[in-house]
Structure 1
């Protein structure tokens, strides 16, 4: 059996904290974000954008950026909203959510832009 890798993280080192899907990977490029948006659309899920301050990331409440994008199937429109949210809130973490409206749950969620952490 292969040894498991330990990702060192802790409350005393905010830059080490991991959260959401893909947070152990390098930041996503626009092309990677587009692929995730396509996945959400192909699953029939409702895309949404949320944001929060980096120091509040462990809280349970993220701010909803506008309303979920019901019926939106254009990747460029969804990516544009994410970029606009990031431009207006440059120090916040921005995440992409795919709501599964049939199961009434979240199908996927991932941080696509990370804000700087300050103490």
Structure 2
């Protein structure tokens, strides 16, 4: 199973040059960039671990790429994503998010649907490793 979250998730994995180009685009637009990682990629898991602090005043993608390299070294086999935040409305709203690392074997997530009283449906999920 291939987890599809964020931009570019239906494309082949991005190379470091392509990641750097996307980070450059974010920085050109004045967006703050952050790096996050997790081993639980379910779409409802919105609380990934943050790597360091968001990078607000960078002008060169090399700084983000250096942090990404350190995050990859410390978290092999985990999902890592880059997020870009736009604060033009005085609110840190996510503008762009994309995966930059996946584990070699991705878990399958199985949706379980259960009919309850009044024909209502309850949903749960199982992560199968």
Determine which structure has the larger helix proportion and give its number.
1
Larger Rg: 2
Pairing 1:88–2:74 present: yes
Determine which structure has the larger strand proportion and give its number.
2
Tell me, in whole angstroms, the C-alpha distance in 2 between the residues paired with 1:31 and 1:17.
22
Partner of 1:6: none
Structure 2 counterpart of 1:64, from 35, 50, 58: 50
CA RMSD of aligned residues (A): 1.2
* Structure 1: segments with no counterpart, 5+ residues: 1-14
* Structure 2: segments with no counterpart, 5+ residues: 108-128
Q: 4+ runs of 1 displaced by more than 3 Å?
A: none
Pairing 1:46–2:46 present: no
- Which structure's relative contact order is higher, taking Cα pairs within 8 Å and 6+ residues apart? 1
TM-score under structure 2 normalisation? 0.75
TM-score under structure 1 normalisation? 0.81
Partner of 1:11: none
Partner of 1:106: 94
The alpha-carbon distance between structure 1 residues 30 and 16, as it changes in their structure 2 partners (threshold 3 A), is closer
